[in-house]
Amino acid sequence: MGLGDILRGAANIITGGMGGLGGKIVETIAARFPEKMSEAEKAEATLLAETVAAQRATEMMGQWNDQERQWQDFVKDMEGTASDLKSLPVVGKVVIFLRGLQRPLWGYGTLYMDFKILSGDWSIREITASNPEIAPQIVSLIWAINIVVLVFLFGERAVKNIAPLVEKLLKAKD
């Protein structure tokens, strides 16, 4: 989950997505109208509240976009860009190659580890034979590695999609 996802989620809460703050403010105001207020006055007050909430949401979205842009600029300044690396004759090409190799290396490495464990070639009992108390920690570590690599490779959506399956498997195990 990246910074942009967090900001978009917060924006949905404030702007009215998922029953956000803007809608709650309008509902609260509408619930407190005096009884002697005419329907036209109520509609006008509601419209004004909705307009103010929408303006504030637009301002906040602009601020969040600026914040996200600043974060991207910071990362670019700290890590550099591929065009910066191309200016370095040999080292730049090697670094660009290693950057490109990183995801497949992590992915296939984790896939290999999972295959070895699930096929029985690597037994957790054998690994923890000298200290059997750490077996649950090893299993937790393997799960953590898989989740981190899945998020890294496929993003938050993939983990959200498989989370119910993992939860069912863990409940069935207990």
pLDDT digits (tens, 9 = 90+) for 5-18: 554 555 555 544 44
d(CA 156, CA 60): 24
Same domain, 110 and 74: no
Query: 104 and 54, same structural domain?
Result: no
pLDDT of residue 22: 60
Is 57 found in the same domain as 34?
A: yes
Own/partner contacts of 125-134, CB < 8 Å, gap of 24 or more, are none
Q: What is the pLDDT of residue 110?
A: 92
Predicted confidence at residue 18, as pLDDT, reads 43
CB of 67 within 8 A of CB of 76? no
Identify the segments of the chain with pLDDT beneath 70: 1-23, 25-26, 173-174
Q: Tokens 């490495």 map to which residue?
A: 109
Domain count, the chain: 2
Q: Does residue 89 sit in the same domain as residue 142?
A: yes
Domain containing 20: what range?
3-79
